[in-house]
Amino acid sequence: MLSLRGLAVLLTSASLCLGAPSKDCAFKPKETIAPPRGWVKHSSPNADHNVVLRIGLPQPNFHVLEQHLYEVSDPDHERYGDHLSKEEVEELVAPHQESIDAVDAWLSSHGIAESDVTRSPAKDWVTLKIPVSLVEKMLDTKYHVWKHTSSDDYLVRTTSYSLPSDLHDHIDVIQPTTTFGRFKGAKSTFIFDDEPESSVSDATKSTLAPIVNAASGVTVDASCNTTITVTCLQQLYNAVGFKPKAKGNSIGITGYLEQFANIQDLQSFYADQRPDALNSSFKFISVKGGLNNQTLAEAGAEANLDVQFAFGISHPIPGTFYSTAGRPPFIPSVGTPTDTNEPYTDWLDFVLSHPNLPLAISSSYGDEEETVPESFARRACAGFAQLGVRGVSVMFSSGDGGVGDGDPNPATQECFTNDGRNTTKFIPGFPASCPFVTAVGGTQNINPEVAVSRFFSGGGFSNYFKQPTYQKVAVEKYLEALPKGLYKGLFNPEGRAFPDVAAQGDRFRIFLSGRPVSIGGTSASSPAFTGFVALLNDVRLQNGQSSLGFLNPLIYKNGGAFNDITIGHNAGCGTPGFNATAGWDPVTGFGTPNFGKLKGVVSSH
């Protein structure tokens, strides 16, 4: 129901708009983009095609939330670890009542009732499902069916939309309008084992002497140079013998795009690599209709990889797998399916509405930053900040296309801007470029551990987000050592730099559809790193301390607690990309975790 103020706004607007056009009622462009690279107009959607429209209202106090985030995440601040509650966060991101009333009045003027809308707990998002013909009227625009030429994907989108002038200050963003992101998993590559009945001991059997890793000084089985297992990661990252036992700990994995984590495969993996975890499983949560198909033949390689290694490393810490319904394929000739947004925002809506969340969460999905309009990327990034200030550590894979567009083959990458000018430029990934998440790059080999080379660890500099204070010293040191003029104009040296850290990302042995598989990608690096974050949370909880929450300020003040990776590069866009080097670099960040050192770091704050 509208408030009295809202009713007054509605009556005032109606009286203005029924007469001669006024400056308050005149439509003013809100967002305009160039036709996106790789997409062509295909047709017009049916007038009754449904659109799930999301309206983001301003968060006028987000700067206050951001200040809280940096204070509670800075290990040198007196408030370190003093995370906020769900209710405190919602109060900080709530829009002004004036904005709520103005938007309500606008919706009501188009015949949309309160019962037709869904609101986020903080009322900063309004969601409604309406025909595209009504959306076009409300936004003074024209939608088209767009076809992606190389994949045959279809989307119903527009390249511009407008709002009445008096609404511009009350609405940050409306989607789906100009978002053409194809939201995909980091490109995992895998090879089926020729010996499906072999055990891990057979698969990794080696007559070679154990290897002493030069960076960490730990001893690692020689077989880990060809096959990565839970034991390999425990050895390499100095966590052998640690047993989690704190109460209240938790770890989570996000799953999208009809990826199902198969429990039978998980049991096979546990029997193979973690027999003490046999007969344990994870909590399944469906988001927006996400399914849980346990048919063995339909197991998801990405989902299986994520849960097997994240939960295998962190056992017996309770695990949760979120299955979020992916963007449904739009087929122009079939009925009127519903068009929706990138599913990570659906997941964010869901988890932010719940009081108790996993303390460490990994996601191996993303887009090219330029395919996500900046206004929408900023709102999604703000959602990750809300998780961080509540004590949740959020990890994202940095991607597998080096400095390029996500295509792991540098020869076929298209490194052009999406602004209509087709300027050659490196293509950062999102959400890895969000300054409020921890981006994880990929490594391989044991001694020395190097930047992964079968694909290339995603990394670089955001074109949307400025460089946060926590990383300026480390990034400036890297840039000062970069040959003068190298890649000038190809990247934004003032942007948020990523990745922050790295972990092994190739030759992971998992089980898929009942068979052992060798799999690789930074999609392996993120869940592996997250498993160790869960162990570090356990250290703190055992000491009566809070969870780690947003990790980056801690990481950038303790770079020496990571195994520095100094060999390798991340080719793309017809270039060798950036080089891994001493200290932080935009290939492997500060390097891979040394749990023995990090355990001391997190205990001391």
DSSP, collapsed to helix, strand or coil, labels residue 32 as strand
Kindly list the catalytic residues.
302, 306, 523
401 forms bridges with which residues in the sheet? 456
Q: Where are the alpha helices (DSSP H) in 297-373?
A: 301-314, 343-352
d(CA 457, CA 440): 9
Tell me which H or E stretch contains 54.
Answer: strand 50-56
Lookup: tokens for 225: 């140079």
d(CA 570, CA 455): 8
585 is in an annotated binding site: yes
Contact, 260 vs 291, CB < 8 A? Answer: yes
**Interhelix angle 97-109/4-18, nearest 10 degrees:** 50
Q: Is 489 exposed, middle or buried (0-12, 13-18, 19+ CB in 10 A)?
A: exposed
283 forms bridges with which residues in the sheet? 320
User: Which 8-state DSSP code applies to residue 456?
Assistant: B
564 is in an annotated binding site: yes
404 is in an annotated binding site: no
d(CA 559, CA 536): 16
**Short-list 261, 365, 356, CA closest to 312:** 261
Lookup: tokens for 159: 């390249």
DSSP, collapsed to helix, strand or coil, labels residue 198 as coil
Contact, 463 vs 415, CB < 8 A? Answer: no
Which residues does the annotation place in the binding site? 564-565, 583, 585
Which residues does the annotation place in the binding site for Ca(2+)? 564-565, 583, 585
